[in-house]
Amino acid sequence: MITTVAYLSLHTSPLAQPGAGDSGGMNVYIHELARTMARRGIHVDVYTRRTSPDEPDRVEVAANYAVLHVTAGPVEPLPAGELSDHVAEFAEGVIKEAYARGNDYDVVHSHYWLSGWAGVIVKEALGIPLANSFHTLGRIKDATRRSDEPASSATRLLTEDEVIAQSDCVIASTPYEAQDLMDHYDASPERLCTSPPGIDHTIFHPADRGAARSWLGLGDEPIVLFVGRIQPLKGLDVAVSAMSMLGPDVHLVAVGGPSGPAGKAEHQRLQALAGDLDLQDRVHFVPPQQHEQLAEFYRASNVLVMPSRSESFGLVAAEAQACGVPVVAAKVGGLAHIVADGESGFLVDGWDPADYARAIGRILDDPSLAASLSRGAIEFAERFSWPATADRLLELYTGITADEPA
């Protein structure tokens, strides 16, 4: 029986604001999963790197759910690409705390390749099984990255191989990610498990579009919504370019902030692109929002656009559909699993802005089609829930614990 779990999230905290820096869907995933497990009576400690001297050693988020800050490297925010030198120190901090509390964790579940690296060290030191979720994979990102983006480091690629080899269970968000792990990393299918993230349906559900627009101070114009960090990977440049091919009354609302070393430059590039296309009055950049408030942005919109170059799952697409919003997304990774092409939205091959404009235009120009896709989106999203995710993960945790020698 699983009673206590350690989650490792070295490079980003579940308490951080999603949508900027290195905070995104993974933060939401860990936070919601920890809350759901805690409600089941399972104690969850989430270990993350300390980025400010003001962060306490331990934050009791809820009953049975705590976030622990571990000092590893400079006590300041650092890009994920600069954290590899501090993995061992982070792992040592986790091990020290685990022994202080009696080494009673049943499982360690690491998130992302950096945490996976630390997870291997923690597993060996504590003698407990390791589950790992990558959330993104270097080789998969490299296959579709924009030409001006640097390739993944050799350190990352080699570490991913090692984490896969040492994990008792590698958890993929979708069957597509599981296939990628086998095709590109030669992962053993016997130790691959699939468990999709969930949706909080008490927050993300259909409601009156007019009320949402009034709350946000928006008018009656057609709204295409983008939600995500501003970085080349997310394809916002494709969405901005597509706007130039849509009607003059259509507006793009982009919710998110710069992310990664090139984030600020990308934001400036996108603003310049909007100006060059004479779209400065129709493309609106909105700072990152609290997760719960995103529901109002979804409900206020006619279409969500997600031209990502890589997505292991695509939580934003799932949440938007739960609110009844059709999605136009790139046919990559988990998005092909999350969006039912022709039923809850449209999947687009490649990143030609004209293709996205055509798909968005079909929805905006045909109220009957839009209504049908909205109904399909709500129905399709019902299959994703955090209780179901917790059920599946507890099954996986129990399996790898039972495999441990007595």
- Tens digits of residue pLDDT in 211-220: 999 988 888 9
Residue 20: pLDDT band by 50, 70, 90 thresholds?
low
- Tens digits of residue pLDDT in 155-205: 999 999 999 999 999 999 999 999 999 999 999 999 999 999 999 999 999
For residues 185 and 404, the model is more confident at 185
Q: Which long-range contacts (CB under 8 A, 24 or more apart) does 337-340 make?
A: 337/174, 337/175, 337/176, 337/196, 337/313, 338/174, 338/313, 338/314, 339/314, 339/380, 340/376, 340/380
Q: Is residue 23 predicted with pLDDT exceeding 90? A: no
R_g (Cα) of the chain, nearest Å: 21
- Tens digits of residue pLDDT in 44-74: 999 999 999 999 999 999 999 999 999 999 9
* Mean pLDDT on 383-398: 95
Q: Is residue 404 predicted with pLDDT exceeding 80? A: no
pLDDT value for 278: 96
Helix ranges (H only) for 64-188 are: 87-100, 112-126, 138-144, 154-166, 175-185
The answer to whether residues 68 and 45 touch, using CB atoms and an 8 Å cutoff, is yes
Reported pTM: 0.92
* Mean pLDDT on 77-98: 95
pLDDT value for 80: 87
Which structure tokens are listed for 397? Answer: 């945790």
pLDDT value for 63: 97
Nearest to 109 by CA among 93, 128, 95: 128
Q: Is residue 81 predicted with pLDDT exceeding 90? A: no
Q: Is residue 382 predicted with pLDDT exceeding 80? A: yes
Per mean pLDDT, which range of 23-27, 95-99, 292-296, 301-305 is the poorest? 23-27
Q: What is the C-alpha to C-alpha distance for residues 66 and 46, in angstroms, rounded to an integer?
A: 6
| Residues whose CB is less than 8 angstroms from the CB of residue 363 and which lie 6 or more positions away in sequence, other chains included | 302, 303, 326, 328, 345, 346, 369, 370, 373
> Position of tokens 């101070």?
217
Q: What is the C-alpha to C-alpha distance for residues 312 and 140, in angstroms, rounded to an integer?
A: 9
pLDDT value for 16: 84
Q: What is the C-alpha to C-alpha distance for residues 126 and 121, in angstroms, rounded to an integer?
A: 9
Cα 240 to chain centroid distance, Å, stands at: 22
Indicate if the alpha-carbon torsion angle 148, 153, 156, 158 is positive or negative: positive
* Mean pLDDT on 330-345: 95
Pairing of strands 65-70, 58-62: antiparallel
The answer to whether residues 245 and 354 touch, using CB atoms and an 8 Å cutoff, is yes
pLDDT value for 260: 76
Sheet holding 327-330, edge to edge: 283-286, 251-255, 223-227, 303-306, 327-330, 345-348
pLDDT value for 406: 40
Q: Across all residues in the chain, what is the average pLDDT? A: 94
Residue 300: pLDDT band by 50, 70, 90 thresholds?
very high
* Mean pLDDT on 67-83: 94
- Tens digits of residue pLDDT in 349-377: 999 999 999 999 999 999 999 999 999 99
- Tens digits of residue pLDDT in 228-277: 999 999 999 999 999 999 999 999 999 999 987 788 999 999 999 999 99
The answer to whether residues 255 and 293 touch, using CB atoms and an 8 Å cutoff, is no
Q: Is residue 12 predicted with pLDDT exceeding 60? A: yes
Compute how many other C-beta atoms are within 10 angstroms of the C-beta atom of residue 2. 18
Q: Is residue 39 predicted with pLDDT exceeding 70? A: yes
pLDDT value for 21: 64
